[in-house]
Amino acid sequence: MIMSTIAENYKNVLANIETACIEAGRDSKDATLIAVSKTKPLCDLKEAYDAGARDFGENHVQELVEKIPQMPEDVRWHMIGHLQRNKVKYIIGKVYLIHSVDSLRLAQEISKESVKAGVNTDILIEVNIASEESKWGMDAEGAVSLVTECAQLPGISIKGLMCVAPITENAEENSKYFKALKQLSVDIEAKKIHNVSMSVLSMGMTGDYMVAAREGATYLRVGTGIFGPRDYNK
């Protein structure tokens, strides 16, 4: 059996994103691959780093803060998982972007801790674009009001939207959700809210990242496709 390495997987995913962008008439420089390294050991992250990965995504605060000092300083860390307010203080000033802001209270906490630390934190609003009961995130209407409310807060900047699309056998089925997130970002952008940019669209995972790239994703969050399946029992 031939095992593909993390480096090969990483390069394949990059090449697939580039192909999808070219087919959609997009500049592939506008689509950044995030290597989602949750549950994976440091040696795996280093292999991806050596293959060129600089953006890494994690979803647990403790794991994230343990990994940060053990990786090179030029890594950009992305917090992509549900974030509890009492853990915000541990990641402020350490993460490049928080993708998963889904309530005003969470945004207020990020604002408060950022001001305290004298930093500005970039955030995305997580949207439950398929209205799944099991998912975090605001519905589309709620996202618009959340953006408006967050825009007033010091120490944070809204950069765009994020979604986790449904798990599906057929990635094409998620194209409508990616289109909807893109449209929502265009609608919000049109409101020209002070301190709000809609330049970032974080969408697409292992099963559907090529569809997401085609539909305008600027960050693609791929874990399994780079590092292989996760073992949550360890």
Ligand X SMILES: *Cc1c(COP(=O)(O)O)cnc(C)c1O
Which parts of this chain interact with ligand X (CB under 6 A)?
A: 36, 38, 59, 80-81, 164, 205-206, 221-225
Distances (CA, A) of 148 to 23, 71, 124, 130, 137: 35, 36, 13, 22, 16
What is the H or E stretch that residue 36 is in?
Answer: strand 32-36
- Please name the residues in contact with 214: beta carbons below 8 A apart, sequence gap of 6 or more: 20, 21, 23, 24, 26, 175
| Least CB distance to ligand X at residue 109 (A) | 20
- When the beta carbons of 115 and 136 are compared against ligand X, the nearer one is 136
Identify which of residues 109 and 126 has a Cβ nearer to ligand X in the complex.
Answer: 126
Which residue lies nearer to ligand X by CB, 153 or 226?
226
Nearer to ligand X, 38 or 159 (CB): 38
* 91 in Cβ contact with 109 (< 8 Å): no
Rounded least distance, CB 230 to ligand X, Å:
7
Indicate the residue whose CB is closest to ligand X: 223
174 alpha carbon, distance to own chain's centre: 17
Interhelix angle 104-117/140-150, rounded to 10 degrees, is 30
Q: Which is nearer to ligand X, 117 or 230 (CB)?
A: 230
Q: How far is the CB of 135 from ligand X (least distance, A)?
A: 10
Least gap, CB of 64 to ligand X (angstroms): 12
CB of 119 to ligand X, least distance (A): 23
- CB 59 to ligand X: min, Å: 5
- Distance in angstroms (rounded) separating the CA atoms of residues 94 and 168: 34
Min dist CB 221 to ligand X, Å, is 4
Sign of the alpha-carbon torsion through 191, 193, 197, 203: negative
Buried-state track 28-39, b at ≥16 Cβ within 10 A, e below 16: beebbbbbbbbb
Report the alpha-carbon distance of residue 154 to residue 123 in Å, rounded: 12
What are the φ and ψ backbone dihedral angles of 79, each rounded to 5 degrees? -90, 110
Q: Looking at beta carbons only, is 100 or 111 nearer to ligand X?
A: 100
DSSP-assigned beta bridge partners for residue 158: 123, 196
Closest to ligand X by CB, 160 or 225: 225
